Amino acid sequence: MKKTLFLFVLLFTLASTALADEQKKITLNGDHPQETITLAYANIFVSLAENDGESGKVKIEIENLDESNVLVLFDRAYDEKTIKKMPTSITFDKTFGGTKNKRVIEPYSGDGDRVILFRPSDKYDLPLLSVSNGSAQVCRLPIYIGKYKGKKMNKVLLLEKQIIELNIEAEFKPSAEYLGLKDKCDNLEREISRAVLCTNPKHKPSLDRQRVGYVNKIDALKKDIDEAIARHNWTPSDNGYVRYTALKKTLDSIDLDSRERDCGRHKAASGGGGGGHKCSYCSLSLQQIYHKLDDLYKRIYSSSDRKAAKKAVMSQVNALYRCCTDASCSKHAAQWKSGGDGYKSKITERYNRINGI
């Protein structure tokens, strides 16, 4: 009989504990910036406060709905002796679990620096919670429910503890700053992909001047990205640093060499001859072109993001292949037609493999 009674009490205690702990999953984003958790004794308001597109702050407000009791949140793990000596003396009710004089207060998670007493209808903000884009952050709220004692209401008797765990996930839209920089990068990449850097010596401006114009644009945009990273004080481990640095890598992957060729407007001035294919790869042998394509294939294949790696080098891949196959190329046309000493098939095979990734 005693054993049965003991098991009943134990199960009751465990069940009561399980009921006292509540877990709430909250997902906040631009379309759903706030969520309200309604409890029997309180409202908990969770909302996005600020963000830079990579990380941000979440605001948590608590409102006491209990008309007769006070809610208490503690910022540190106080012992019984300490809370009893506070300006508002706090003690445990005789029915509160644990060993008398050895109980320790459980604090709420966050950067709090004070004990918060919520009188009926009171509503307070907790310190802002830092969150990263797409990452979950747990906020544990041990809420103590008590009642005032004495005519001066300068004493609180703690009756029970309710634990609420907020599992908060925030999804931030990219910031206007990031979107602006990305748009500039995309536009410049598109502009260069359509450009022709004329190699004809009769072209004005010269090839060097044509190149330096684009190099200056690339460098200026990379400087803007570096300044943005510095303003945010990001380190290499921050999501913002990684995302903004990826923009710089996109700029670094732009291949100006592949845009070099005769624009075709100077044939008449040169007597109508010599206006065939010409690019920066014409000086290479078919063997060297094959090895360059092979190196690019290996770079793509070993990359953790093959799609992005392929996109970054395809302009160079196409330029190398075009240099071999252009019938007007004075350096390679005849050799290519005759089989290229075995490198024609190798180049074609490597080019097709790259396109098939």
Alpha helices (H) along 233-285: 239-252
Q: Phi and psi of 318, rounded to 5°?
A: -65, -40
Residues 167, 24 contacting (CB under 8 angstroms): yes
Provide the Cα torsion 112, 114, 117, 122; round to 10°.
Answer: -60
Which string of DSSP letters, residue by residue, matches 327-338? TT-TTTHHHHHT
The Cα 324–Cα 215 span in angstroms is: 27
- Give how far Cα 207 sits from Cα of 198, 201, 288, Å: 6, 8, 24
Q: Which tokens go with 179?
A: 């979107």
Largest CA distance in the chain: 116
Residue 181: the pLDDT is 94
Rounded to 5°, angle at Cα 146 from 140 and 148: 145
Q: Which residue has the tokens 């009756």?
A: 159
Closest to 311 (Cα-Cα) out of 216, 185, 181, 223: 185
Q: What is the pTM of this model?
A: 0.54
Distance in angstroms between the alpha carbons of the first and the last residue of the chain: 74
Residues 136, 168 contacting (CB under 8 angstroms): yes
The Cα 145–Cα 42 span in angstroms is: 11
Count CB atoms within 10 A of the CB of residue 159.
15
User: In 3-state terms, what secondary structure has residue 127?
Assistant: coil
Name residue 209's amino acid: R
Going by C-beta distance under 8 Å and a sequence separation of 6 or more, which residues neighbour residue 208? none
Handedness of CA 192, 195, 198, 203 (dihedral sign): negative
Q: Which residue has the tokens 């190196």?
A: 295
Beta bridge partners of 137: 168
Count CB atoms within 10 A of the CB of residue 115.
19
Residue 322: the pLDDT is 87
Q: Which residue has the tokens 């010269």?
A: 206
Cis amide prior to 205 (ω within 30 degrees): yes
Residue 9: the pLDDT is 41
Q: Which residue has the tokens 């009943």?
A: 8
Long-range contacts of 12-18 (CB under 8 A, 24+ apart): none
The Cα 164–Cα 108 span in angstroms is: 10
Residue 5: the pLDDT is 43
Residues in the chain, pLDDT under 70: 1-20, 52-53, 267-275
Give me the count of residues in the chain.
Answer: 357
The Cα 166–Cα 26 span in angstroms is: 7
Residue 72: the pLDDT is 96
Residue 51: the pLDDT is 74
Residue 63: which region, alpha, beta or left (left: phi > 0; alpha: psi -120 to 50)? beta
